[in-house]
Amino acid sequence: MDITGALGDFGNILAAASAVGTTSFGLVDSTKAFKGGISNAGFGHIETAVDGFRPALAVVNPGDPFQTMKANWLNGVPKDDQKAIAKSLVRLGITPTTAANLATAAPGVDRTLFAAAAVKVNAGEELTEQEINMLGRFDAILDARMDAGFERADQLYRNASKLLAAAISVVLSVAGMIVVQKGVPDAPDFFLALMVGLLATPLAPIAKDISSALSTTVAALKSVKG
What pLDDT does 67 receive? 93
Phi, psi dihedral angles at 34 (to 5 degrees): -110, 85
Mean pLDDT, each 10-residue run in order, the chain (226 residues): 47 68 81 88 94 93 93 92 93 91 89 91 89 92 94 92 86 81 77 76 54 52 55
What pLDDT does 211 receive? 45
Planar angle of CA 219, 225, 226, nearest 5 degrees: 90
What pLDDT does 54 receive? 94
DSSP 4: T
The answer to whether the pTM exceeds 0.85 is no
What pLDDT does 65 receive? 94
For the chain, the domains span 6-225
Q: Minimal CA–CA distance to 163: which of 9, 64, 42, 66?
A: 42
Question: Contact 85/72 with Cβ under 8 angstroms?
Answer: yes
What pLDDT does 218 receive? 52
What pLDDT does 123 receive? 86
Residues 6+ apart with CB under 8 A from 12: none
Planar angle of CA 167, 77, 33, nearest 5 degrees: 45
Give the separation between CA 211 and CA 209, rounded to whole angstroms: 5
What pLDDT does 153 receive? 95
- How far, CA to CA in Å, does 120 sit from each of 132, 137, 163, 195? 11, 17, 51, 65
Question: Contact 7/45 with Cβ under 8 angstroms?
Answer: no
